[in-house]
């Protein structure tokens, strides 16, 4: 179970307490726990994710599985809690989805704010996809979040962050809405504190090697999807962009950062690793292949896929999301990949948790 380094005490000498909503596998929770928060209530509707949350916190009875709105009356027992945090499902806002305003998942932000209304925490945190903050079609939604929070007595603002600025080896951008009771401060103080928490991530290659040898008990194969070359590849300047293979799984640049890990991993959308380049060094096979395609020296139908190409494992995906080594994921392999892809990267979550704690103390 992830634990905070030191217990953080509030002004009345009690530990800071938190409510976790849309908890998933517990990425945000790990960050707040590392920052010293005690999670007194957690909620997740997905049974596999809820079990993951529980199995990694064997001494906690905080997880309440099922529809959040079924627990509104119970949540009232925690009125005045220090913080409510969560990442309402983002598929309704994501450019990877249909961006449908009528998608029921688009409405779960209002369920979150209903809990804020009922519980009246000192502060709250909402994490979601960048599109919610950037696309003009969602302007009314984000403006409504801020104005509704203000009506409830909170100073509320939002910013877009790259998780790679917070020790996460992944190009992953997310929006964070932060609200604080006006008598406790203003939201801008939180974002100022976030600026002080930046750190460099490890190289992708270093993280993958730390997972252990591929195909062993330490790092077992968890995705058997075959890697096949696209007959009509979409070429970009980089071999790590475009579409060189069938499916949405792209090759990984071992010397850079990973692309955003999607919740749809588990099949041919799972990122691809050149195992030889990982273990022995040298040029990634996709760089050579891409260069030959650009130069007109080869055709996709004439190339054989080397057996050194394979898919990212569950353990490697978890480490790229900066979950602690040994964190357990429950359910079928596709469910495990989904939980990891949906999670808030833990190092980024810790920066959020620490910033909230410093503001409330």
Q: How far apart are CA 335 and CA 327, in angstroms?
A: 15
| Beta pairing class for 154-162 and 173-181 | antiparallel
Going 186 to 190 to 192 to 193, the CA torsion angle's sign is positive
Taking the alpha carbons at both ends of the chain, their separation in whole angstroms is 25
CA angle 161, 167, 170 (to 5 degrees): 70
Q: How far apart are CA 348 and CA 19, in angstroms?
A: 18
Asked if 263 and 96 count as a contact pair (C-beta separation under 8 A), the reply is: no
Asked if 347 and 311 count as a contact pair (C-beta separation under 8 A), the reply is: no
Tokens 């994501």, located at residue: 94
Query: 160 pairs with which residues across the strands?
Result: 175
CA distances from 133 to 76, 104, 158, 332 (A): 30, 19, 8, 33
Q: Which residues are catalytic?
A: 90
């Amino acid at each position: 179970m992830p634990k905070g380094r030191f217990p953080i005490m509030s002004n009345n000498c009690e530990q800071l307490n938190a409510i976790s909503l849309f908890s998933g596998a517990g990425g945000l929770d790990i960050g707040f726990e590392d920052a010293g928060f005690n999670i007194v209530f957690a909620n997740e509707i997905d049974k596999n994710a809820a079990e993951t949350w529980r199995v990694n916190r064997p001494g906690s009875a905080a997880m309440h599985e099922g529809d959040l709105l079924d627990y509104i009356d119970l949540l009232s027992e925690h009125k005045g809690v220090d913080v409510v945090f969560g990442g309402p499902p983002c598929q309704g806002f994501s450019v990877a989805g249909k961006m449908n305003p009528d998608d029921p998942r688009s409405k779960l932000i209002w369920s979150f704010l209903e809990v804020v209304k009922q519980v009246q925490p000192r502060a709250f945190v909402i994490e979601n996809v960048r599109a919610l903050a950037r696309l003009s079609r969602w302007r009314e939604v984000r403006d409504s979040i801020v104005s509704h929070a203000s009506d409830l007595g909170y100073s509320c603002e939002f910013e877009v962050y790259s998780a790679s600025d917070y020790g996460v080896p992944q190009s992953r951008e997310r929006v964070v809405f932060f609200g604080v009771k006006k008598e406790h401060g203003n939201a801008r103080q939180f974002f100022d504190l976030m600026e002080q928490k930046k750190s460099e991530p490890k190289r992708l290659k270093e993280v993958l090697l730390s997972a252990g040898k591929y195909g062993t008990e330490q790092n077992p194969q968890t995705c058997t999807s075959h890697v096949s070359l696209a007959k009509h590849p979409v070429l970009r300047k980089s071999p790590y962009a475009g579409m060189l293979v069938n499916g949405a799984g792209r090759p990984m640049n071992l010397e850079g950062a990973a692309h955003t890990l999607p919740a749809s991993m588990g099949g041919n959308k799972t990122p691809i690793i050149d195992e030889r380049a990982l273990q022995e060094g040298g040029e990634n096979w996709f760089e050579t292949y891409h260069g030959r395609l650009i130069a007109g020296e080869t055709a996709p139908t004439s190339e054989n896929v080397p057996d050194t190409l394979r898919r990212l494992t569950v353990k490697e995906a978890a480490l790229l999301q900066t979950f602690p080594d040994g964190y357990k994921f429950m359910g079928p392999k596709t469910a495990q990949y989904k939980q990891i892809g949906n999670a808030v990267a833990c190092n980024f979550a810790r920066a959020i948790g620490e910033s909230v704690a410093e503001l409330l103390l």
